[in-house]
Structure 1
């Protein structure tokens, strides 16, 4: 904010006019479309994040996804750091995870999914990864919207809406902005901004556990 007279400043909430909200597309699809795509109703959707988050080969990562999905989960998920490291390039991960999804679907008779992280260093690379995911026929992708940026997120959201992909949003880097009680922004502000930019669901903390 740049004013010397203010030592700290925190934005707690936003009231956004309806007319202004209507200039944004919002979520690519929403919960009802997600349930329709998965053919799952009347209960919560159960998933998990694959651990360890770093160090697995693409083949072993895909095997872990298969075991989770075959065991009864609806979704598995990339962590925010899972991107395209030397030990697991993104295209290899996408391939082995897609195989895990189709194999578990065939054996269980249920529709399964995995949140493939398409976050990249440029918008062009991000879109290339999203197109690859769509080509493999997976139902959902993931984006780190604070590190990737709102413009990149909006572009990805529009692509997901046009191509039938669900979009999960990870909140990586949020604590730098919302953790201090007297400075920064409340998480509800970040969530509202994301809702306008576009995302079907947003990563959040837990009632109990390690995450706030």
Structure 2
């Protein structure tokens, strides 16, 4: 691949010749429009026009995936041809500008009249281009070092109830979770700076507990405070977390936006825990939106340290294969000159019983295994919930079943009996 181009792959549905539509896409997202215009010289096109690299036609469909008034006005009918299309875009068209990169490889493409479905499936960036953007401050290894977990899967949980707890109640819950042995705790995405527990009160209260626990045990739990807000407020909140000796902040990526996350990254040394809530609206339809690979690539350019990938056998709609692929690309390097991996965060309905599927699919313990109910609702209490997760991971290391391993492990057995019954 050229070091001067970004390569994008799309899934496209159209009633027209796919090769013709590919050229329309390339022109629309570079130097062209629906017709050649004054000033669009051959020299300019040679320098700035996107290039169609490949068109691979797939099986057609009898019914269009999405409505299209432009086609209806012209009386255009199917069959609806589908294709995989590769287009390369000159880096010089957007430079080290994340917002414009995103507008180039997606942007108005979703609105083209010629298509009844379009999805950005992958994005390949030159290593030299990636290095013009932000890098994670902690990433995988830095997160391990911060919490003192040199090996094994990192175990985390979420503050529950999601909202409603006061700052002091939150601190009391954090104390319980620290004593239970978790590595990581995070706010829920719907709890940022509520009136009943403003960050100005919650951060000092929680960090007092975490500092005391660290002084007593030598283990400093990482707490991801949800600071999602406007950029000025996020910077203030991050400064408060740093002043209180915190190590991590969380943001709802889709609603804060690329520019805010980039700017936050540049002004704080804290780990940025990237929560992808809302990603389903962008990805759930197979012929609309964006796949996880290009999605995470652009957020990694913004400098996040952790990325949510959902969980295996969890409560959300994604098939396990998508979760596995998401973890793999998160742990892949985007540059050949630096370790810029981000930590994949498994969450959504996770408990000891979902550990085997996670281990067999991912074959790595470089992950953050987040369990809410699996810890907080354990019948023997939160500490037993954490122990049951660590026992489940130990069973994988020994290559034995959970049922076998649990014979002398009451915490794991209780989890299997309690949560397993609700899964059947």
1:109–1:22: structure 2 CA closer, same or farther, 3 Å change rule?
Answer: closer
* Worse-matched range after superposition: 129-138 or 4-13: 4-13
Structure 1 counterpart of 2:298:
193
- In the TM superposition, structure 1's runs of 4+ consecutive aligned residues that sit over 3 Å from their partners are none
SS at match of 2:174: helix
Structure 2 counterpart of 1:147:
255
Structure 2 counterpart of 1:81:
190
Structure 2 counterpart of 1:209:
314
Structure 2 counterpart of 1:179:
284
SS at match of 1:40: coil
Q: CA deviation at 1:107?
A: 3.3
- Kept in 1: contact 2:210–2:221 (CA 8 A): yes
- Kept in 2: contact 1:58–1:93 (CA 8 A): yes
TM-score, length-scaled by structure 2: 0.48
Question: Paired residue for 1:43, among 114, 134, 152?
Answer: 152
Structure 2 spans left out of the alignment, 5+ residues? 1-108, 319-424
Structure 1 spans left out of the alignment, 5+ residues? none
CA RMSD in angstroms, aligned pairs only: 1.4
User: Larger relative contact order (C-alpha < 8 A, sep ≥ 6)?
Assistant: 1
Separation in 2, partners of 1:114, 1:22: 29
SS at match of 2:216: helix
**Which structure has the highest strand share of the two?**
2
SS at match of 1:12: strand
Structure 2 counterpart of 1:25:
134
Structure 2 counterpart of 1:125:
233
Separation in 2, partners of 1:139, 1:123: 19
Q: CA deviation at 1:104?
A: 2.2
* Worse-matched range after superposition: 181-190 or 102-111: 102-111
Separation in 2, partners of 1:38, 1:45: 9
Q: How many pairs are equivalent?
A: 208
- Kept in 2: contact 1:144–1:170 (CA 8 A): yes
Separation in 2, partners of 1:173, 1:18: 29
Structure 2 counterpart of 1:167:
272
Give CA deviations for 1:132-176 in whole Å, capped at 9, x if unaligned. 11100011111111110000101111223xx3x122111111111
Separation in 1, partners of 2:137, 2:167: 29
- Superposed, 1:44-63 pairs within 5 Å as 44-63=153-172
- Kept in 2: contact 1:141–1:168 (CA 8 A): yes
Q: CA deviation at 1:40?
A: 2.0
